[in-house]
Amino acid sequence: MTEIGIFKTDADQSLFHSVIQISNLFRNSDFVLRIYGILKHQGLELANRWQNPKSSKKHAMLRIRNLKCFYGRIMAIKGISLSVNAGEITCLIGANGSGKSTLLSAVCGLLPDWTGEIELKGQSIKGLDPPALVRRGISLVPEGRLIFPPLSVMDNLKLGAYTRYKKKAAGAVEEDLESMMSLFPILRERFRQPAGTLSGGEQQMLAIARALMARPRLLLLDEPSMGLAPMIVEKIMEVLEVLRSGGLTIVLVEQNALAALEAADRGYVLETGAVVLQGAADELLADKDVKRAYLGKDYGDFYDAG
């Protein structure tokens, strides 16, 4: 994360434009000024300082206390407490069955069977169903993408903004469609194609764009790297960093611990329904236990190759 890797080549200029679009999307003029700063100096140094999470003030977007989740009688999460700072990428890593996805299901309302407290900006979300939570600003990019294959890319995106149409925001929705296509230029090319004809990576981008169309405050991603080539994973992580820079709070659930920790500010390691380790992402990356358990001995080689 020492390098955001954008603005280097002409091709990346288009990505920069999408940054501007996204910042408009989140109505963050402060962010636009920072972008100007970067343009002026053309250096990544400033970008690094700006990307440093320690310099920004923190407040909790999501706070979870003593969460226990149940599938029938089976307790899948056994008392997890964690907090997600606003404007940061928080990643949850862990093996299969560690309860990462269950936790996301509880936060987005898919799994109503839980005890404890989940607060979004200090307000409890107990008893709210997914559409109500989407209106409160929580969007999920689900495991396996779950796009709508027979509908066109455009329709998929419009349905992402379903909860906003009632508020007579149709004009704003059109603008956001434009922003999404700047963020993911491939979606512009595929605009009228059925979403089912997209490749895996494109579908993942569509799923992320669809979630963003609801203008969330908190974006939850469940294994966005699953089944994708390292190049695509890198691109998706880059986009997440761009979104974070625009002020979006992100929770990233990943088995691909390396990619997740590289992009994240904070990390939690889950094992069989409990948090076993937590800390700043770079500390976790350097942690011997994490290295051994989740990154593999020679992960450095993999990284250089990727």
Asked whether the beta carbons of 289 and 277 are under 8 A apart, the reply is yes
Reference 153, options 208, 201, 206; nearest CA is: 206
146 binds other proteins (CB under 8 A): yes
**Residue of 81, 162, 230, 279 that binds other proteins (CB under 8 A):** 162
According to CB under 8 A, which one of 1, 91, 134, 237 is a site residue for other proteins? 134
CB of 123 or CB of 197, closer to other proteins: 197
Check binding of 137 to other proteins (CB under 8 A): no
What would the DSSP string read from start to end of the chain?
A: ------SSSHHHHHHHHHHHHHHHHTT-HHHHHHHHHHHHH--HHHHHHHH-GGGS---EEEEEEEEEEEETTEEEEEEEEEEEETT-EEEEE--TTSSHHHHHHHHHTS---EEEEEEETTEE-TT--HHHHHHHTEEEE-TT----TTSBHHHHHHHHTHHHHTTT-HHHHHHHHHHHHHHSHHHHHTTTSBGGGS-HHHHHHHHHHHHHTT--SEEEEE-TTTT--HHHHHHHHHHHHHHHHTT-EEEEEES-HHHHHHH-SEEEEEETTEEEEEEEHHHHHH-HHHIIIII-TTHHHHHHH-
Shortest distance, CB of residue 265 to other proteins, whole angstroms? 25
Name the segment binding other proteins (CB under 8 A); options: 88-96, 130-138, 250-258, 280-288: 130-138
Q: Would you tell me how many other CB atoms lie within 10 Å of the CB of residue 266?
A: 22
User: Does residue 147 bind other proteins (CB under 8 A)?
Assistant: yes
Regarding 48 and contact with other proteins (CB under 8 A), the answer is: no
User: Which residues inside 8-37 make contact with other proteins, applying CB under 8 A?
Assistant: none
Using CB under 8 A as the binding rule, whether residue 219 contacts other proteins is answered as: no
- The minimum distance between CB 34 and other proteins, in angstroms, equals 31
By CB under 8 A, the residues from 193 to 212 that bind other proteins are 194, 196-200, 210-211
DSSP letters for 140-158:
EE-TT----TTSBHHHHHH
The verdict on 217 binding other proteins (CB under 8 A) reads no
Q: Which of residues 110-129 bind other proteins (CB under 8 A)?
A: 110, 129
Q: How many CB atoms lie within 10 A of CB 76?
A: 22
Q: Among 274, 246, 250, 112, which Cα is nearest to 179's?
A: 246
Binding positions for other proteins, 62-81, rule CB under 8 A: none
Kindly state the number of chain residues that form the binding site for other proteins, as judged by CB under 8 A. Answer: 32
Stretch that binds other proteins, among 147-155, 177-185, 231-239, 243-251 (CB under 8 A): 147-155
Nearer to other proteins (CB atom), residue 51 or residue 203:
203
Applying CB under 8 A, which of residues 131, 296, 300, 306 lies at the interface with other proteins? 131
Q: By CB under 8 A, which span of 38-46, 77-85, 149-157, 291-299 interacts with other proteins?
A: 149-157
User: Which residue, 125 or 295, has its beta carbon nearer to other proteins?
Assistant: 125
When binding is defined by CB under 8 A, the residue of 60, 86, 95, 159 that contacts other proteins is: 159
Q: Does 92 bind other proteins (CB under 8 A)?
A: no
* Residue ranges binding other proteins (CB under 8 A): 108, 110, 129-131, 134-135, 139-140, 142, 146-151, 155, 158-160, 162-163, 165, 194, 196-200, 210-211, 214
